[in-house]
Amino acid sequence: MYNNKISIIGTGYVGLVGGVCLAEFGNNIINVDIDEDKIAMLNRGEIPIYEPGLKDVYERNLADGRIRFTTDIESAIKESEVVFISVGTPPAEDGSADLQFVLDVASSIGKYMDDYKVVVDKSTVPIGTGRKVAAVIEEELAKRGKEYEFDVVSNPEFLREGKAVQDFTHPDRVVIGTESEKARQILRDVYRALYINNTPFVFTNLETAEMIKYASNAFLATKISFINELSALCEAVNANVQTVAEAMGMDGRISSKFLHAGPGYGGSCFPKDTSAIARIAEGKGVELKVISAGIAANEAQKLRMVDKIEGRLGDLKGKKIGILGLSFKPETDDMRESPALTIIPELIKAGALISAYDPQGIEEAVWRLKDYEKDITYCNNEYEVMKKSDALVLITEWNQFRRLDLSKVKELLKQPIFFDLRNVYEKEELERYGLEYIGVGVPA
Ligand code: UGA
């Protein structure tokens, strides 16, 4: 049994959700960050991010004293037997992951540890990073003339934004990558709540665990690109991609998940991880043809949406286009790599004027799209964007866009053309209200 104390370095999205949920599993958590304001906020009982269900679990564990927040990394490392590294790995200029923060934490561990530690990597890192972390710790220990024992473990996370608490507390699997039996035993204790609940555990070596994370994200991204490519063919041959995906998904070997055609995938993970794995492979002289094709197909899908709009509206000069949804998916204000960031600039370059609304994403959109600000009007609600617009384009499937008052939509639009880039509506339904329906991969 380990000493039941875990420090988690980094209180970003993964670190905070992980910390709060590991506390819920009965561990004592010290969450560490260099950002003093953030730590003060968390100690006051305020959460810096919005994630469904997080507040409840956080408040309960804070009140019960199972989690605390500090900037004192030295004491946190000394006190705990397990140290999770949950700092960011932002993409560097060339698309590879920037490991500076991860390696900084490794050197702090080497500087301050005075006992055996299990160092757990939760950040998504290139294959081989676990060994680098171990080397940096060794180096620091050597500088101090110390020889404390430690193990490095890769324990990738599979959290989705908007479902992170559910995904952490009810995972499909827990992956533990280390050759050390002692570290495996300790991680089994850390995740005891899941282990005794029949959650599958995959014990493997460091590199395999690091690979599993990239392989999973790259597969899901490629699956989306696969159906998105077929959506173009479906349009050309009068087939319905929704039905194709549904029927394909009935085959248990395929599964219907992540087979929804749309304007292309976005977010902080799929684009970053697919280009990172392609770069890793390139560095090793291995060509990942399928994954590279998936990346290219995703770029093409975003542009295909623009062609679709231009194809129907003709010359876009002076045309007003209403946009519903800016964030990369619903229930988040995250705009990173959102398809809207390609579609809107392309429409503007072709001469269009944009009016846009998103329940959470406007603030971020304003700075991400600042080069185009004179041609974009941000609206206060979904109906405002439609006023006198030549077409309506639904980019993100927020729930409130699924139940639009369609007679009002028809009344407000100058031309009753509805591009449904998430296939939320049925053609027949819109036509009943006098709206022309244009979906993705569905018969015109
Ligand atoms: C993704 C993975 O789903 C998580 O398992 C993983 O842990 C996470 O990345 C990560 O590496 O941290 P996330 O980026 O939050 O999670 O979002 P998803 O719900 O996976 O959606 C990603 C994108 O794919 C969105 O733009 C979404 O609209 C798009 N998508 C998803 C489709 O276009 N079609 C689909 O069928 C599913």
Query: For 81-131, how does the pLDDT look when each residue is reduced to its tens digit (9 = 90+)?
Result: 999 999 988 878 777 778 999 999 999 999 999 999 999 999 888 999 999
256 shares a domain with 118: no
320 shares a domain with 381: yes
Beta bridge partners of 151: 118
Contact 329 CB / ligand 1 (< 6 Å) = yes
CB 150 within 8 A of CB 116: yes
239 shares a domain with 197: no
316 shares a domain with 230: yes
Q: Give the separation between CA 419 and CA 355, rounded to whole angstroms.
A: 15
Q: ipTM value of the model?
A: 0.98
Contact 270 CB / ligand 1 (< 6 Å) = yes
Please state, rounded to an integer, the average pLDDT across all residues of the chain.
Answer: 96
Beta bridge partners of 419: 393, 438
271 shares a domain with 385: yes
In the reported structure, the alpha carbon of residue 216 is separated from the centroid of ligand 1 by a whole-number distance in angstroms of 11
Q: For position 416, what pLDDT does the model report?
A: 98
CATH number of the domain residue 366 falls in: 3.40.50.720
418 shares a domain with 316: yes
Q: Is residue 444 part of a domain?
A: no
Contact 259 CB / ligand 1 (< 6 Å) = yes
Q: Give the separation between CA 403 and CA 415, rounded to whole angstroms.
A: 20
Flag whether 213 is marked binding.
yes
Q: For position 287, what pLDDT does the model report?
A: 97
Q: For position 182, what pLDDT does the model report?
A: 97
- Closest residue CA from atom 9 of ligand 1: 269
Q: How many domains does the chain have?
A: 2
Q: Is residue 11 part of a domain?
A: yes
Contact 235 CB / ligand 1 (< 6 Å) = no
CB 278 within 8 A of CB 288: yes
- Closest residue CA from atom 27 of ligand 1: 265
**Of all atoms in ligand 1, which is nearest to the CA of residue 213?**
11
Q: Determine how many CB atoms are found less than 10 A away from the CB of residue 210.
A: 25
Task: Map residue 57 onto helix, strand or coil.
Answer: helix
Q: Give the separation between CA 60 and CA 63, rounded to whole angstroms.
A: 5
DSSP-derived secondary structure letter, 159: P
282 shares a domain with 186: no
In the reported structure, the alpha carbon of residue 12 is separated from the centroid of ligand 1 by a whole-number distance in angstroms of 18
320 shares a domain with 264: yes
Flag whether 258 is marked binding.
yes
151 shares a domain with 13: yes
Q: For position 422, what pLDDT does the model report?
A: 98
118 shares a domain with 13: yes
Q: Is residue 159 part of a domain?
A: yes
**Pocket probe mutation, ligand 1, options 14, 86, 87, 160, max atoms within 8 Å of Cβ:** 160
Chain centroid offset of residue 183 CA = 28
**Residue numbers in the chain where pLDDT is lower than 70:** 1
- Domain boundaries, position 257: 219-438
Q: For position 91, what pLDDT does the model report?
A: 78
Domain edge (last residue) among 176, 204, 232: 204
Residues identified as active-site: 269
Q: Is residue 286 part of a domain?
A: yes
278 shares a domain with 192: no
Contact 339 CB / ligand 1 (< 6 Å) = no
DSSP-derived secondary structure letter, 404: -
Contact 17 CB / ligand 1 (< 6 Å) = no
230 shares a domain with 172: no
Flag whether 364 is marked binding.
no
Flag whether 427 is marked binding.
no
CB 254 within 8 A of CB 248: yes
Flag whether 33 is marked binding.
yes
